[in-house]
Every structure is written in structure tokens, then in C-alpha cells.
Chain A
Amino acid sequence: MLFEIVSEIPGRLRLRCGRDLMTEAEARGVSHSLMAVPGVLFAEAHAANGSILLRTDPADPAARTAALDAVRSLDVLALPSVEEPGLGLRETELEMALENNRFQMRVVRLLLARAARRALVPAPARVALVCVRAARHILRGLRVLLSGRMAVEVLDAAALAAALSRRSFSEAGTIAFLLRLSSLMEEHVNARARLALRDGLVVRAESVWQVVDGRDVRIATADVREGMVLHLAQGGVLPVDGTVVGGVGELDESSMTGEAALVRKEAGSTVFAGTALRDGDLLVRVAAVPGAARIDRIARMVEESSDLKASAQGRAERLADAIVPYSFLAFLGILAVTRNLRTAMSVLMVDYSCAIKLSTPVAVMSAMNEAARHGIVVRGGRYLEAMAAADTVVFDKTGTLTNAAPAVERVISLGDLGEEEVLRLAACIEEHFPHSMARAIVAEAERRGLSHESELHAEVRYIVAHGIATRVGEKDVLIGSAHFLFEDELVERPAGLDELVEREAPAASVIYVACDGALVGAICVSDPPRAEASEVVRELRGRGMDELVMLTGDAEPAARRVASELGLTSYRAQVLPEGKSAHVEALRREGRTVMMVGDGINDSPALAAADVSVAMGDASDVARAVADVLVTEPSLGALVTARDLSERLMARIRRDYRLIVGFNTLLIALGLGGAISLTTAAYLHNASTLAITALNARPLLRE
């Protein structure tokens, strides 16, 4: 494809290839194919004028050459075409950029059309156009009125009708223009928030287990096809829509419905992508591989769910509509007293509702959007509100406060099996379970070159936060905590075991392995606190979160050490999952607003019980699926950012209220006093609404 470079700064190139070369789908296809070129950080093609924006690594001149070569090699007769937006991380970035472009284009077109109308259209025709545009708003207002509601749309319609009745067509045109601009801005902010939400809803499990001839075979999620039967173990998240063909389980569908209640699924039940199996074991026949459109529908559902809206947002919408009848009453009252229609119309032209109704959702959506830019996906405005109000943070220990990638420090053989056999056995079982401890064991086996994937095991029984019981070959194998093996499963505890473990790995968390009822080994996993954890705890305390609690299933010494090192208010060791959620509920009963931060399958009940739950980026799929807030960066620093963002959002909403009420009251007073004309009051009112809305779309945090 031929092109011309029209703008270049290091690492950023704008090319023009000519108009009418590509369709929208081909533009998306070109963007995708260019982003696949090594060294190209981002590519964005536009069908309207055939321009391509390329961002490459500025420090790598070869990347620039590669990118230009890739554009040159595109065949205009066979351009790659992608109809539906993808679900990858870079695709979301592309969709965000395309949404920005769409918004800018619509604003430019709106401004160009307004300028063209003023310059080229004769006055009578312009009046007709204004009437047509105003008529749309008036009809909408009438429809709302006829449906028995007295909402902001009625007030907009009344203001436009009043302007038309006074033959003030320019004023009516300006009101219609400002309403359109406000709605474009609102749509844009909503679209961006929806994209961020969609990104948060996509749980990108890299691989799944396919059932082939009765055996589980690991395959890449990208290779999943319709008709396949997948084995979903407890804690797994469905990457597809499907029908249950075997097993029984309880699914958490909160990612779809916002409801934390578990739903029982058995043979014949329909299950949906993004939902998490909290309990049980399911075989699922794939009905449809999810695309962006399906996830979009879910995102819209979440977005529109009144349960998930910030109560400030809901309050603003209700307040805005509730004010409307009073505006009309004030209009009639002033008309009765002054007998002057023009003066009375001040309260119709200048009202509080538009600004309140428009500015609060834009502020909330904009904050959600900004959070996404900082790697924090918030699944509803109400969670930002809860985060601002939270005075208590409950942390899980392993994988949350401690390192995301714990490492096996020591493998102790305690029976007939050697160290490597113990590790191989543990890795063979743990590879099915997405928890940081499990990942550490699997990673250590891989590091030692131990092959384990070909080993067969079946009837896996996973007891959350306790351990796993299964059969490997001919042996009954147990793996898990001391409590699980020695108290629940009654494995004999050898004399001097605690002293041995204390001596070999005093700071480690220990996982025990038993074969046919006899202890064969202990795996010591070192689990140091994250580098930033101490600072984050201090900063959260400085932001009014005075109760910082750690709950862990780990043993007392490890818990005490971490709590003291990080300066937490309190901790509880050897807590079971139900104990965690009970503790969270107890804190809430004390009147505290609780934020729960967790990462594992065992945290999901507590996550569901909290006022707001946060899952770290390296959390298990199920925690990511059920949490209200998802941190995509593997750093606790995001908690401080989220707290700052939510507090500033609430402050912004409060400031908006004061500004809207103050400024518009002043305008009404000036209008009633005759100090400003009705037209000026209407201009100032609409301009201030737009300005407040535009200001609400600004970032709350410094970049």
C-alpha cells in the first residue's frame, strides 16, 4: 500500500494512504495486523481518510522501518478485515482509541455543520431546521410527560418550546446545539467506561481442560471450539457459553448479574462465559465461544443495573427529576404574581435538573474510566462510593499482602518418596488449581525439569482452603494444610515434625503431602510480603482507613511475622473461608464499611460479604470474576490510587451540587430582577451545564 508520512515525531508516525481504500472492518483489520508487527506498540487506521497512526519504540529505529515495511506490504485488494472488536488487551486499547476518535469526529462534524448552516443556509431555511431539531426534543418531552413522568426531558422541551413561542430561533438553536453536545459527551464517557468494564469482565484464562476419551487434556483457550466438552474444576471460570453435560456445581454469576447468590447447575443447565464455579465439578459442552459483542451485552447489563449504580448517581437522577415539578410550580407562581411570561420563563430556561442529571453520571463514569487507565477496573459506580466510605480493610495474606510469586524454598522428604517424587506428585495435582501456592509448586517442578503432566489422576476433591484429595495412578493422595491432613483426614503426624519444619524453613508456609494415608513430604513455600505492602498500609491508614486486618489460613507464626512487619492493626491465623466471611460480616455489623482485598478461591465468600471487594491482578480467576474492583497491575499501590480517586470523586460531586445550585439560583435571581435577558440567562445556564459536565470528564488524579 502506498502512503505518505504527514506527521512524525520519534516513536509516532501518521501516514495517509488515501480515501476510499478501506472499510471500517478493514481499518480494524489493518490496525490489528500492524499491531502484530514486532516493535509496533500501537496502530490505529481510519477508514474515513485512510490515515494510519503508528506508535513504535522511539529507542528502536528498526521498529520504525519494520512498521513502514508492514504498511508497504499491505495489498489494497486483500486488506485484512476484522468485523468484531477483539477481547485482547491491545484490542481494548484500540477500541478506546477508536472511541476517542469517534467522539472527536462527532464533535467536529457538529461544529462544522453548525458553522455551515450559519454561513450557507438562508435565514428562513435555518429557522425551519431549528424547528425540526427542536421538535424532536419537544416530542421526546411529550412522550415522557404522557408516560406520567415529570422528568428533565420535559423541562428541555418546555425551554425549547418557550424559545420558539417567543420566535427566538437563535436561542432555540443554541439550546438544541448545547443539548446535543452534552449528550455526545455523555455517550462518549459512557462508551469508554463500558469498554473498561468489558475489559474487566473478560477473564483471560490461558488454558482450559478438554475432556478427550475420558481424560483431561490441557488446551489453549484460543483453541476452544463449539461442541467440545470442557472440565471445569472448582475455582475455575468458564471461558465460554455452554450446557452442563455432567457433574453438579454452584456457579457465581455475579459478573453477569451483580447478584452474589450462588446458582446451582446440573446436567442440562445453561452456563455463561465469565461465571465462576465456586463449588462442585462440571462438564460443559461448548455452545458458543464468546465474542466482544456478548461481553458488551453483559457490560451494558452491569452498567444499567440500578443496583450497581453509585447511590450518588441514582440520587442525582431522582433529585433531577424530582426538581422538575417545582420548576413548573415556580413558573406558574411567578407568572401569577408578575403577570409577565418572559420573567416567569427564567425558571424554565434556568433549572437545576439538567446539570445535576448530566454532571453526576459523567463524573462517575469518568472516574471509572480514569480508574481503568490506572489499571483498576471498577464494576459499578456504587463501588467507588463504598471505597470512599470504607474505614476498614481486610487483607488476605498469601498472594495479596505477600509476594504474588511465592517460591518453593525447601522440599522435605518424610517417607519412602524422594524429594523430587514428592514435588512431582504435588505439581501433578496442583496444576489444576489457580492459586499462588499451587503456581509456586508447579513452577518449582518445571524449574527442576520434572515431568508431571502426563500422569493420570481422577476424582479430584478440592476442599477450599484445606487441600485436595485425589487418586494418582493407584495411590490415594492428599495435599494441603496441617489441619487438613492431620485433623480432617487423620494422617498420622510423625513425632518432631514441627521442630523439623521450624528448623528447615522457619519463615515458610508449609504444604503437606500424604500417600495412601501416610505422610510422605512437606513443601515449604517462602512467601515474603510485597515490597510495597508496608508503605501501602501506612498510606491507607493516613487516608482514614484505621482498621487494617489480615485474615489468613496460614499458621500463627507466619501470620504474626507478616502482620508485625507491615504494621497491621490486627490479624487472625488459620481462618477458614467461612471464617473470613464471618469476620467481614461481624465488622459490618459493628457499623464499619469494609473493603476486602483477596486473591484466592478461598477468599471469594469474604469478597462477596464485603461492602466492596478488590481482587489483585494476579488473583485466581474466580476471585477476579467475583470481585467488585479488579486491579490489573500486580501492585498494592493501586489500592491507594483507588481510594484517592473515589474520595476525589465524592468531593467533586458535592462541589458540583453547590456550584449548580449557587450559579443557577444567581441566574434566576438576575433574570427575575431583569438584570439579564432571558436569552443571556439560557446561554449562561446551558454553557455552565456543559462546562461542569466537561470539567467532570477531567482526570481526578494527576497523571
Chain B
Amino acid sequence: MSLHHHVLFALGGAALAGVTAGLAAKGTLHRAAVAATTAAMRVSDAVSAEAQSVVDDANDACAEARRQAKIDAAVAERLATLEGKVRAEVTAQVDAESAAAEA
């Protein structure tokens, strides 16, 4: 790196330090830092709220699914009982009709 570049960097650094000092003196830097921190905290809160809503909705969906599964299982159980009876009835009827036809 040439001397020219070194001088340019030094001047640039000094100017940046001066601007930073000026902004700090006026309170602009503080306000900007507060604004940035506030924004970060708001984002963090928003992420928390969203994560909580995701968890809530997932739990609600699971509760609904569990309820539905219970209903389905109970219905299937009762249908199975009914099916056995209906099947026995129909089988008896068909057998009787077949026997009558063969006779």
C-alpha cells in the first residue's frame, strides 16, 4: 500500500471519528442506538409472539386430532359391532334363501 493510500485512510478515519464524536455529542448516536435496540427487541417480541402462536395452533390442532381420532375409533367400534350383527343377519337370510331355492 502506498503512502498516498495511508494518508487517505488516516484522513478518512479522522473524519469518521469527528462525525461520530459530533453525532455522539448531539445525542444522535444514542438515539440511533436506542432505535436499533428497540427495533431488535420488537423483532424479538414479534418472533416470540409468532412462535407462541405456532405452538398454540399446533397444540390446538393436536387436541382436535386427538378428539377426532377418539370419535373415529368409537364410531368404528360401534360400526364393527353393528357389522357383525348385520352380517350374521344377512348371512342367515342368504343361507335360508339358498336352502329354499335348492329345495
Contacts and interface: CB of A to CB of B under 8 A. Distances in A.
Contacts of B58: 104
Nearest to A109: B51
Contacts of A53: 56, 59
Given A20-B45, A109-B47, A112-B47, A49 B63 contact: no
A109 B55 CA distance: 10
A7 B56 CA distance: 10
Contacts of A48: 45, 48-49, 51-52
Contacts of B64: 7, 9
Contact of A14 (B47, B49, B56): B56
A115 to B, nearest CB: 12
Interface string A230-244: 000000000000000
A277 B80 CA distance: 60
B47 A105 contact: no
Q: Which DSSP category, helix, strand, loop or mixed, fits chain B's interface?
A: helix
Interface in A105-149: 105, 108-109, 112
B60 A19 contact: no
Most buried by A among B45, B49, B57: B49
Interface string B30-56: 000000000000000101111111111
Contact of B52 (A12, A20, A46): A46
Contacts, number: 52
Given A19-B49, A20-B45, A48-B48, A105 B63 contact: no
B44 to A, nearest CB: 10
A680 interface: no
A108 B56 CA distance: 11
B78 interface: no
Interface residues of B, number: 18
A49 B52 contact: yes
A105 B48 contact: yes
A159 to B, nearest CB: 29
A104 B54 CA distance: 9
A101 interface: yes
A20 B53 CA distance: 14
Contacts of A12: 63
Given A9-B64, A12-B63, A108 B45 contact: no
Contacts of B56: 6-7, 14, 46, 49, 51, 53
A51 B59 CA distance: 12
A497 to B, nearest CB: 61
A7 B48 CA distance: 20
Contact of B60 (A14, A104, A109): A14
Most buried by A among B45, B47, B52, B67: B52
A156 B68 CA distance: 44
B67 A108 contact: no
B45 A105 contact: no
Given A9-B67, A20-B45, A105-B48, A49 B53 contact: yes
A48 B63 CA distance: 21
Interface string A74-105: 00000000000000000000000000010011
Contacts of A109: 47-48, 51
Contact of A19 (B45, B57, B59, B63): B45
A9 B63 contact: yes
A101 B59 CA distance: 10
Nearest to A8: B60
B49 A112 contact: no
Contacts of A19: 45, 49
Interface string A3-45: 0001101001010000110000000000000000000000000
B29 to A, nearest CB: 24
Most buried by B among A20, A109, A112: A109
Most buried by B among A7, A48, A51, A53: A48
Contacts of B59: 53, 104
B48 A51 contact: no
A14 to B, nearest CB: 5
A116 to B, nearest CB: 9
Contacts of B51: 48, 105, 108-109, 112
Most buried by A among B47, B55, B57, B58: B55
A104 B60 CA distance: 13
Most buried by A among B53, B56, B59: B56
Interface string A161-193: 000000000000000000000000000000000
Contacts of B45: 19-20, 48
Nearest to B49: A49
Nearest to A11: B67
A49 B59 CA distance: 15
B60 A105 contact: no
A430 to B, nearest CB: 48
Nearest to B56: A51
B50 to A, nearest CB: 8
Given A9-B67, A19-B49, A48-B48, A101 B60 contact: no
Nearest to A10: B67
A104 B55 contact: yes
A12 B47 CA distance: 26
A53 B53 CA distance: 12
B75 to A, nearest CB: 16
A9 B63 CA distance: 8
Interface in B51-103: 51-60, 63-64, 67
Contacts of A108: 51, 54-55
A7 B60 contact: yes
A18 to B, nearest CB: 10
B49 A101 contact: no
Contacts of B49: 19, 48-49
Nearest to A105: B51
Given A19-B45, A48-B49, A105 B67 contact: no
A529 to B, nearest CB: 36
Nearest to A101: B55
Interface in A429-462: none
Interface in A637-691: none
A313 B87 CA distance: 56
A181 B53 CA distance: 21
A93 B56 CA distance: 18
Nearest to A108: B51
A46 B50 CA distance: 12
A217 B64 CA distance: 52
A41 to B, nearest CB: 14
* 6 interchain residue pairs of minimum CB distance: A48-B52, A7-B60, A49-B49, A49-B52, A48-B48, A108-B51
23 contacts: A7-B63, A7-B64, A9-B63, A9-B64, A14-B56, A19-B45, A19-B49, A48-B45, A48-B52, A49-B53, A49-B56, A51-B53, A51-B56, A53-B56, A53-B59, A101-B52, A101-B55, A104-B55, A104-B59, A105-B55, A108-B54, A109-B48, A109-B51
Interface of B: 45, 47-60, 63-64, 67
Given A7-B64, A104-B59, 16 more contacts: A6-B60, A14-B60, A19-B49, A20-B45, A48-B48, A49-B49, A51-B52, A51-B56, A101-B52, A105-B48, A105-B51, A105-B52, A108-B51, A108-B54, A108-B55, A109-B48
